[in-house]
Chains A and B, each alone.
Chain A
Amino acid sequence: MSQASQQLEAARYTWGGDEFLFVEIAESMSLAANFKANAMATRLSARAVDGVVDICPANASLLLRFDPDIVPPDRLESLVREVEEEVAQLSEQTLQTRIIEIPVWYDDPYTRETGARFRKGHQRPDGTDLDFAAEENGLSSSQEFIRKHHESPWLVSMVGFVAGLPFMFQIVPQEEQLEVPKYLSPRTDTPPLTVGHGGCFACIYSVRGAGGYQMFGIAAAPIFDPAQKLADFSDFMIFFRPGDIVKFRPVDEGEYKAIQAEVDAGTFTYRQAPVTFDLQKALADPTAHNRDILEKLHGL
């Protein structure tokens, strides 16, 4: 058994009423816990168990919805425990996935204006969310925070909350994780495509609405397209999948508007490349791991 999976204890199984099984992989967030949640979800999907309605991998847990008239709770639990055992026995902890470049206009006027409307009651009433995030992480300026935000890639650790919203965990050692508390009281409004941050997670808001994450910028292209107009959405209206790797690329106003024009014309496509995520390598030497996967993106 590998070192990373030895660090994880056996998962905790508990019921969410008569239709949900909740599997807590770990109380703390880690790449290893997320890898295990996703690996279990993938193997459960492949088994195509009758009566399993939804398989929802999350950051450090797994939620299953089932029909107890088809698969009784005790039988489902033993099936999932079997899959957990299978995943623990894996000799190689790799995931065939893709790296995607997401253009972001950091410190943009849309999130700035929204932030200004919700200053009252904020941890830093007279600054911006970026100023607050820089201070919380002991950084000298919002510019330095922005640099740390986009220079290392992020793993999509969960998709949800609302349709197509990715939660992302940066592939860096724990001591280098950017941590920023959420708003003390959630906003009633967030611009669509806001790049947000709460705790150790980044997100991109897929739709306009309420939100509690600090706001740092705005992504230039859609991630949820119910009309499926763009080529990246021809198979499904939601772009992100758990296990995707994201590299943010800062853009200025000019490039943001050029990308928007491509989106309007229906010609925009995301720059992306297939990569292998190797958990051991990412934990042992994240710098080398990130360099390798970024080369795949830049080698296009």
Chain B
Amino acid sequence: MAFDILEPGLATSVQDLGRLGYYNVGIPQGGAMDQLSASMANALVGNAETDAVLECAYLGPKFTTDTDAVIAVTGAPVQVRINGTATEQWTRLALYAGDEVSFGMLSGGTRYYIAVQGGIDVPLVLGSRSTYALGALGGLQGRALKAGDTVPVGTVEPSGPRPVRESIPEDLRPAYAKEVTVRILPGLYDHRLTAEGMETLVSASWKLTPVADRTGLRYSGPDIAWKPRTQPFGAGSDPSNIVDAGYAVGSIQIPGGKEPIVLHRDAVSGGGYAMVATVISADMDVVARSAPGTVTHFEPVTMEQALVARADAARTRRAVWE
């Protein structure tokens, strides 16, 4: 069972929950950027949450299926078409052998997800099917899809789980807003910023630039002042430089005091730029859903607040599976 890719889309890749445990040698966690949407797609087709899906950015693929299949499309709002006829997102869809699936333009957000009953069945690499394109690892031959690819789909056990729900009610679906608040925990090298610098970070309106991908997202806004200092040995010449260190996923760096960068799931694992805060785990999906131009406010929270938000996010995710 397989999908035949007629057009690959802009950056369509196989993703799952990610590949933890290899960050110490530079292999990022990867996985679906918007974890909640990917999880909902799997729930709709009766997969396990660990099954792999297709992540589409902006421009989706066009493909046919070689057998009957059950799919669902979740994530950023986009028109889904089966044999040219518009149909729904956030619901289970039945395909017959030979059906062609294609997509219209996005009307918000960045990424959407296609789950298929049985899961995308590429080999597990280091415990995950996620694509790490820079390392040519995982996914379909370690890369984004190309025209002419055959994407294998897993066989469905007759006794396998039934889909837990037909569709995702509107109140459970994530929002794709033009203005968002992202909660951050200040820390790491925040003491290297001037007091005004930190104040600017948490009070300014930041606009997501088009320089945004699975590695990280860059925001435009006012300059942020670093404290001047004599740089320590090995740290590089700019006050925003440190001796190369490990990068927390979600951490915010501000090279040269300009245009903060939030590292995301395909982050480089380390480097020489000081980090000053980290997006809390509950809000990483919010960052992933942002389209260029999204006005973003970074709201400082405490560790206790971050852990409460984490528990809330876990409850929201579980609700889809109940």
Chains A and B form a bound pair? yes
* A54, CB-defined interface residue at 8 Å: yes
Asked whether A15 lies within 8 Å of B278 as measured between CB atoms, the reply is: yes
A61 at the interface (CB under 8 A from B): yes
Contact assessment for A200 and B23 in the assembled complex, using a CB-CB cutoff below 8 Å: no
B contact patch SS:
mixed
**Chain A interface: which of B94-102, B110-118, B236-244?**
B236-244
Of A69, A167, A226, the contact of B244 (CB 8 Å cutoff): A167
Compute how far the CA of A30 lies from the CA of B234 in the bound complex, rounded to whole angstroms. 9
Q: Are A163 and B234 in contact (CB under 8 A)?
A: no
B268–A161 CB distance below 8 A:
yes
Taking CB atoms and an 8 Å cut-off, the chain A residues in 27-43 that contact chain B are: 27-30, 41
Interface: B275 (CB within 8 A)? yes
Q: How many A-B residue pairs have CB under 8 A?
A: 179
Contacts A16-B188, A201-B234 known; A59 to B244 CB distance under 8 Å? Answer: yes
The reply to whether B26 and A160 contact each other, CB–CB distance below 8 Å, is: yes
Contact of A53 among B20, B237, B307 (CB under 8 A): B20
Q: How far is the CB of B118 from chain A (nearest CB, A)?
A: 26
- Bound CA–CA A167/B272 (angstroms): 12
A226:B243 contact, CB within 8 angstroms: no
Q: Indicate if B108 sits at the interface (CB-CB under 8 A).
A: no
Q: Which residues of chain A are within 8 angstroms of B26 by Cβ–Cβ distance?
A: 159-165, 206, 238
Measured CB to CB, the nearest residue on chain A to B132 is A163
A-chain residues with CB within 8 Å of residue B193 when the two chains form the complex:
none
Inside 8 A of A24's CB, which chain B residues have their CB?
A: 245
> Is A158 interfacial (CB-CB < 8 Å)?
yes
Query: Which of B142, B187, B281 contacts A226 (CB under 8 A)?
Result: B142
Min CB distance A245 to B, Å, is 18
- Cβ of B280 under 8 Å from chain A: yes
CB proximity of B189 to chain A, nearest CB, Å: 8
Any B CB within 8 A of the CB of A65: yes
Q: Which listed segment binds A: B149-157, B202-210, B247-255?
A: B247-255
Using a CB-CB cutoff of 8 Å, which residues 136-174 of chain A contact chain B? 158-165, 167, 174
Question: 13 other contacts beyond A15-B185, A17-B279, A59-B243, with CB at 8 A cut-off?
Answer: A29-B233, A63-B246, A65-B23, A69-B314, A158-B244, A161-B271, A163-B134, A199-B243, A206-B26, A209-B134, A224-B135, A226-B135, A238-B27
5 shortest A-B CB distances, which residue pairs? A16-B248, A63-B246, A29-B234, A17-B278, A20-B248
